[in-house]
Amino acid sequence: MEEFHKVRRLPPYVFEQVNRLKADARAKGIDIIDLGMGNPDLPTPQAIVDKLVDTVRDPRTHRYSSSRGIPGLRRAQANYYARRFGVKLNPDTQVVATLGSKEGFANMAQAITAPGDVVICPNPTYPIHAFGFIMSGGVIRSIQAEPDASFIPALERAVKHSIPKPIALILNYPSNPTAHVATLDFYKDVVDFAKKNDLILLSDLAYAEIFFDDTPPPSILQVPGAIDVAVEFTSMSKTFSMPGWRMGFAVGNERLISALTRVKSYLDYGAFTPIQVAASAALNGDGSDIEEVRSIYRKRRDVMVESFGRAGFNVPPPAATMFAWAPIPEQYRAMGSLEFSKLLIEHADVAVAPGIGFGEHGDDYVRLALVENEHRIRQAARNIKRFLQASAEGRFDNVIPLSARR
Ligand SMILES: Cc1ncc(COP(=O)(O)O)c(C=O)c1O
């Protein structure tokens, strides 16, 4: 039977193949150290949980909530932008709450895309950036993920050579998976280009608060006039260790926010009110929870870079996000990231995310998530060291020889 039109455009998640191997190994009682999925392992701070529990006792909170977010939540998000970025937002017209930023992003794509519209999207990138538009009937034109001097010339080429002319550009800094961080000057150039070329800018700032340098990542809305063309998505998932709560935001250009709000009003009744109340309390907090989360990820990053490096697997230190984007050791690169990831499960009891899952230009890399504690990260490094030694000595028969091409 032929697949449905939309389903045919959604390839099976590459990560499923690694997940299956991981599940098989665990079913056999093997302790797999899971650096694969970016699923935060830290508990939500107690005060946020307490706020949820208090609120849920009031039966008035059990009714349908507000699809665009209760007013106090939208105000809390506007205040966060004012505090953190110095960006003034109208909570009634420039802020909408979403069921996680992924939902917000996908429904924004649905709201603004006509069949065949071209959207410029980084490669490699978090899959919803491309597939949100593909599901909405759009067409993707890839661009490099690096926010460096070659980005604007690449953007110029992408606009010049795409027919029809692209409607939007997706930005994601700090980036999942590459951990690249953009500067405000970079955003200025992009906003300038977008205004001249009539491009919508969709900025995914899910890792706004997970950074390790002294300079916090900027918001694109800090660029004067960016609000004329840009919308930005943020998430409670990583900042407050609330991934299962499904709470995020879109903020920025009124026309775009209004389009997303309209689509969502047909689709959902908003998050459960106690979740929205607890999320407001989190955003109105003093920031100490965020500082703690940041310092845990920073320590894990340092342990990973150091211990993996000593094991013979060079991991460049990420400046932000909860991921390291590591080139596959040279002697295995030709086999591609999926095969290499499978080898690590089978021979090192370590799960990683194959770079190909984020786009073809990610295939020389694997993504390592900082979602295991320091002790287990060190254990992963020891396992990998053993694997590298054993395979160098030719003790595995399923390691594809160097000469094998992808
Ligand atoms: C770049 C990026 N955007 C969005 C999301 C989804 O976040 P949320 O839980 O808010 O839907 C993730 C989650 O991993 C992410 O890495």
Categorize the per-residue pLDDT at 401 as very low, low, confident or very high, splitting at 50, 70 and 90: very low
Has residue 403 got a pLDDT over 70?
A: no
Has residue 176 got a pLDDT over 90?
A: yes
Answer yes or no: pTM beyond 0.85.
yes
Q: Among the residues of 113-165, which ranges form H helices? A: 128-135, 151-160
Cα 328-331-336 angle, rounded to 5 deg: 50
Supply the DSSP symbol for 406.
-
- Whether cis (ω within 30° of 0) applies to the bond prior to 316 is no
Looking at residue 400, what is its pLDDT? 52
For residue 289, what are its two tokens?
A: 């929870």
For residue 269, what are its two tokens?
A: 């009744």
Cα separation, 35 vs 146, whole angstroms: 23
Inter-residue contact 155 to 145 (CB < 8 Å): no
- Whether cis (ω within 30° of 0) applies to the bond prior to 124 is yes
Has residue 405 got a pLDDT over 50?
A: no
Type of residue found at 353: A
The secondary structure of 195-219 as a DSSP string is: HHHT-EEEEE-TTTT-B-SSSPPPP
Categorize the per-residue pLDDT at 399 as very low, low, confident or very high, splitting at 50, 70 and 90: low
Has residue 397 got a pLDDT over 80?
A: no
Give me the mean pLDDT over the 362-375 stretch: 97
Give me the mean pLDDT over the 116-136 stretch: 97
**206 Cβ below 6 A of ligand 1:** yes
Looking at residue 16, what is its pLDDT? 87
Cα separation, 337 vs 143, whole angstroms: 20
Q: Tens digits of per-residue pLDDT, 279-310?
A: 999 999 998 999 999 999 999 999 999 999 99
| Ligand 1 geometric centre to CA of 121 (Å) | 16
Looking at residue 398, what is its pLDDT? 58
In the beta sheet, which residues pair with residue 211?
320
Give me the mean pLDDT over the 327-354 stretch: 95
Supply the DSSP symbol for 250.
E
Give me the mean pLDDT over the 377-388 stretch: 97
Cα separation, 357 vs 129, whole angstroms: 13
**245 Cβ below 6 A of ligand 1:** no
3-state secondary structure 360-392: HHHCCEEEEECCCCHHHHHHHHHHHHHHHHHHH
Looking at residue 402, what is its pLDDT? 45
Compare 13 and 290 and report the one with higher pLDDT.
290
Has residue 135 got a pLDDT over 60?
A: yes
**Of 101, 172, 249, 367, which is best to mutate to test ligand 1, by the most ligand atoms within 8 angstroms of its C-beta?**
101
**107 Cβ below 6 A of ligand 1:** no
Backbone φ and ψ for 370, nearest 5 degrees, come out as -85, 55
Cα separation, 55 vs 271, whole angstroms: 14
Q: Tell me the percentage of the chain whose pLDDT exceeds 90.
A: 90
Q: Tens digits of per-residue pLDDT, 47-90?
A: 999 999 999 999 999 999 999 999 999 999 999 999 999 999 99
In 3-state terms, what secondary structure has residue 51?
Answer: helix
The secondary structure of 7-24 as a DSSP string is: HHTSPPPHHHHHHHHHHH
**238 Cβ below 6 A of ligand 1:** no
For residue 230, what are its two tokens?
A: 């840009």
Give me the mean pLDDT over the 173-197 stretch: 98
Residue nearest to atom 2 of ligand 1 (CA): 206
Give me the mean pLDDT over the 311-330 stretch: 97
Give me the mean pLDDT over the 142-171 stretch: 97
For residue 236, what are its two tokens?
A: 């409670």
